[in-house]
Amino acid sequence: MPYSKEHKERTRERIVEAARKLFNRHGFEQVSIDQIMAAAGLTRGGFYYHFASKDELYAAAVTSFAATNPFRRSLESGPVLAPDELARQLLNLYLGDAVFGDLDNHCPLYALPGDVARSGESPQRAYTHLARGLMSVFQQALDGRADAERRAQAIVSLCVGGMVLARTSDDPQLRQAFRASAREQALALLATPKDAVPA
């Protein structure tokens, strides 16, 4: 008897989740299809029923983060926030200790940039979509400013760069400093004219 559509979707989600966690921890090149399917509790034979290639799975793993990420869960569990407060809370979560320590759920923007840069168009398209989604949160908070888009781009650059440097340093104090500095500068970019940080 053939599997139901719901069963197929759940199986695909298991594969994507297993892949995202393994890619975050080990990188694209270091993880095999066999390892991904084993982590999902499945055999290799079923892989190509869901994905045409490992690149396609990689793109799906990057895309899935937008729907399953810890930032969304944390922010949606609280009260509805104004755009500027939502942006500040997202900054604090993104660069915070809890997220930094959760390797399995690291954002692909800082967990996988080198891999994505070397991959095909599909993963790069998914990565770009994720970056634009993050920028949109900050751009909405800056609504009304002539330079809102540029500031939002700078804030995302600070967030991602701060986390990349923190992830690659072996110095705990420097890891903390990179993230704290990125947060401070990003918050300054978010400041409205009446609470702007002096130059």
- From first to last of the 199 residues of the chain, give the pLDDT tens digit: 456 778 889 999 999 999 988 988 888 888 999 999 999 999 988 899 999 999 899 889 888 877 666 556 555 666 667 888 889 989 999 999 988 998 888 888 888 788 788 877 888 888 898 899 899 989 999 988 899 999 999 999 999 999 999 999 999 999 999 999 999 999 999 986 544 444 4
Name the token pair of 50. Answer: 């869901």
pLDDT, position 198? 41
Q: Domain 5-53 carries which CATH code?
A: 1.10.10.60
Question: d(Cα 72, Cα 134) in Å, to the nearest integer?
Answer: 11
Stated pTM of the model = 0.80
Q: Which CATH number fits domain 67-192: 1.20.1250.20, 1.10.3470.10, 3.40.50.300, 1.10.357.10?
A: 1.10.357.10
CATH 1.10.10.60 occupies which residues in the chain? 5-53
- Answer yes or no: are the C-beta atoms of 115 and 27 closer than 8 Å: yes
Question: d(Cα 188, Cα 132) in Å, to the nearest integer?
Answer: 21
Q: Of the candidates 45, 53, 99, 51, which has an alpha carbon nearest to the alpha carbon of residue 72?
A: 99
Q: What separation in angstroms does the CA of 170 have from each of 69, 131, 156? A: 26, 27, 23
